[in-house]
C-alpha cells in the first residue's frame, strides 16, 4: 500500500467524489486516502495523512479552490490537479490555477455518458500519475511580461484574427504535457514577432486551450490562437491544438495549413503529439523543427523520430529543466532527438530554425 499514489479528492459534489473515487481505486497503483466536500474538511484529512496528489474542484462553498490552492502552494506544496466544469468562468479560473501552481487540469466526468467515462478514466488516472512524478521545485508562477504586446507586431483582420496571407517554408511543431503550460509561456514570450509559424499540442481539456491561447496572446509579441480547421501556418503565428481534437499539418503548394478533426485516442491522448509530429514529417520533412517538452508518458516520441528520419531538426528538453522528464526521455531513448537542450535555449533554437 505504501507504494501506491495517495490521492485526496476535494469536491463539493457527492456524486463527483464518488465517481472519481471509483475511477481511481480501480487502478492498482492509486489509493484514495479521502474525499472532502470543501477545503476545511480537506485540511483536517491532510493533517492526518499527507497526500501525494490532490484533485481539487475550483468552485466550492466556504472557500473556493483557487484560494485553497494558494494556501497549499505557499504553506505545504503538494502536486494539485484542478478539476473543472466546461464553462467560460471555469476556463478563466483554470488558467489562474495554472498560474498559482496547479500542475494540470481535468474536466469533471460526465457520469451519464459511458463512452466519456471510459476516456475520462484514462485521462484522470494519467493526470494523477503525472502529478505524482512532478518536480515541484520546477513549478513556479510565470514571470510577468515587462512590456505590452506591440500593436504593430500583430495585424488584425476585421474578424479579429491575424491576416493570414503569407506562406512560410519553415514550420515548428511543439508537443508538451504536464508542466507544459509554464514551459510554453517561457518559450513563447521570449520569441520575436517574425519567427516561423508554430503549431503546438499541449495536453489540455477542450475549451481550456482557447483560454490558454488567449492568455498567451496577451503576453506575447507573436499572435497566438486556438487552431481552427484550415488555418494557414504563417510567420509570427502560433496555433494551439484545441482540446479533444487532433490537429495535423497539411500542405497545398507553398501553403501549410492545419486540419482539426475527431478521432480515437492516440498514445492515450486527443490531441496527440504523435499525430501532429507524424503529419509534419510527411508534409514538411526537412523544412521543420520538432520540439518535445516536459510531460508524462511517451506521446510524441515515435512522431519525433519520424520527423528526424524525414530530415527535420529535432530537440528534446533536458531533464534538469523539465517538470516531468517523461516524454523527452522517451524521445531521447528512441534516438528521436537531434539535440537535447534546456528550456532557456529553446526560443533561440526556434529563431534559428529557418537559418
- Which CATH class for the 5-132 domain? alpha beta
Tell me the C-alpha distance between 298 and 291, whole Å.
14
Q: Where are the alpha helices (DSSP H) in the chain?
A: 14-25, 39-48, 65-75, 88-100, 114-132, 180-188, 208-219, 273-283, 301-309, 327-333, 343-351
pLDDT in tens, 68-83: 999 999 988 999 999 8
Active-site annotation holder among 203, 272, 274, 298: 203
Q: For residue 300, is pLDDT > 90?
A: yes
Across the range 266-283, mean pLDDT stands at 97
For residue 114, what pLDDT is reported? 58
Contact 51, 4 (CB under 8 A): no
Collapsing DSSP to helix, strand or coil, 259 comes out as: strand
Across the range 20-32, mean pLDDT stands at 95
pLDDT in tens, 231-243: 999 999 999 999 9
Would you give the distance in Å from CA 14 to the centre of its chain? Answer: 28
Eight-state DSSP code of residue 269: B
Q: How big is the chain by its Cα radius of gyration, in Å?
A: 20
Q: For residue 1, is pLDDT > 80?
A: no
**Is 246 designated active site?**
no
Same topology, domains 5-132 and 151-351? Answer is yes
pLDDT in tens, 186-237: 999 999 999 999 999 999 998 899 999 999 999 999 999 999 999 999 999 9
Give the end-to-end CA distance of the chain in Å, rounded to a whole number: 54
- HSE on the CB side for 91, CA within 13 Å? 16
For residue 150, what pLDDT is reported? 31
Across the range 20-49, mean pLDDT stands at 95
Active-site annotation holder among 126, 231, 299, 318: 299
For residue 161, what pLDDT is reported? 36
Range of weakest confidence among 5-14, 98-107, 135-144, 330-339: 135-144
- Mean pLDDT, the chain, rounded, equals 88
Active-site annotation holder among 84, 177, 215, 272: 177
**Is 203 designated active site?**
yes
Architecture of domain 151-351: 3-Layer(aba) Sandwich (3.40)
Neighbour count for residue 118 (Cβ, 10 Å)? 10
Domain ranges of the chain: 5-132, 151-351
- pTM for the full predicted model: 0.86
Amino acid at each position: 500500500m505504501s507504494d501506491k499514489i495517495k490521492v485526496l479528492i476535494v469536491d463539493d459534489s457527492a456524486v463527483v467524489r464518488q465517481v472519481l473515487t471509483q475511477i481511481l481505486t480501480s487502478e492498482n497503483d492509486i489509493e484514495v486516502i479521502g474525499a472532502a466536500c470543501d477545503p476545511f474538511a480537506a485540511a483536517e484529512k491532510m493533517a492526518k495523512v499527507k497526500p501525494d496528489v490532490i484533485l481539487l474542484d475550483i468552485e466550492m462553498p466556504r472557500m473556493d479552490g483557487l484560494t485553497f490552492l494558494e494556501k497549499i502552494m505557499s504553506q505545504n506544496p503538494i502536486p494539485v490537479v484542478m478539476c473543472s466544469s466546461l464553462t467560460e468562468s471555469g476556463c478563466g479560473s483554470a488558467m489562474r490555477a495554472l498560474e498559482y501552481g496547479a500542475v494540470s487540469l481535468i474536466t469533471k466526468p460526465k457520469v451519464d455518458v459511458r463512452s466519456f467515462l471510459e476516456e475520462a478514466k484514462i485521462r484522470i488516472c494519467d493526470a494523477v500519475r503525472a502529478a505524482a512524478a512532478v518536480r515541484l521545485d520546477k513549478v513556479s508562477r510565470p514571470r510577468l511580461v515587462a512590456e505590452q504586446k506591440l500593436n504593430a507586431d500583430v495585424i488584425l483582420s476585421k474578424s479579429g484574427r491575424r491576416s493570414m496571407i503569407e506562406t512560410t517554408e519553415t514550420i515548428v511543431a511543439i508537443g508538451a504535457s504536464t508542466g507544459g503550460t509554464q514551459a510554453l509561456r517561457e518559450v513563447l514570450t521570449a520569441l520575436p514577432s517574425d519567427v516561423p509559424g508554430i503549431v503546438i499540442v499541449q495536453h489540455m481539456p477542450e475549451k481550456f486551450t482557447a483560454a490558454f491561447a488567449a492568455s498567451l496572446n496577451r503576453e506575447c509579441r507573436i499572435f497566438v490562437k486556438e487552431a481552427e480547421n484550415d488555418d494557414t501556418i504563417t510567420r509570427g503565428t502560433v496555433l494551439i491544438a484545441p482540446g479533444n481534437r487532433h490537429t495535423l499539418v497539411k500542405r497545398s503548394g507553398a501553403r501549410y495549413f492545419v486540419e482539426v478533426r475527431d478521432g480515437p485516442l492516440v498514445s492515450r491522448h486527443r490531441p496527440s503529439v504523435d499525430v501532429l509530429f507524424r503529419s509534419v514529417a510527411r508534409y514538411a520533412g526537412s523544412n521543420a523543427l520538432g520540439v518535445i517538452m516536459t510531460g508524462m508518458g511517451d506521446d510524441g516520441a515515435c512522431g519525433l523520430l519520424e520527423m528526424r528520419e524525414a530530415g527535420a531538426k529535432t530537440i528534446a528538453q533536458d531533464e534538469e529543466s523539465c517538470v516531468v522528464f517523461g516524454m523527452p526521455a522517451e524521445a531521447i531513448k528512441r534516438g528521436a532527438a537531434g539535440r537535447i537542450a534546456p528550456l532557456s535555449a529553446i526560443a533561440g533554437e526556434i529563431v534559428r530554425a529557418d537559418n
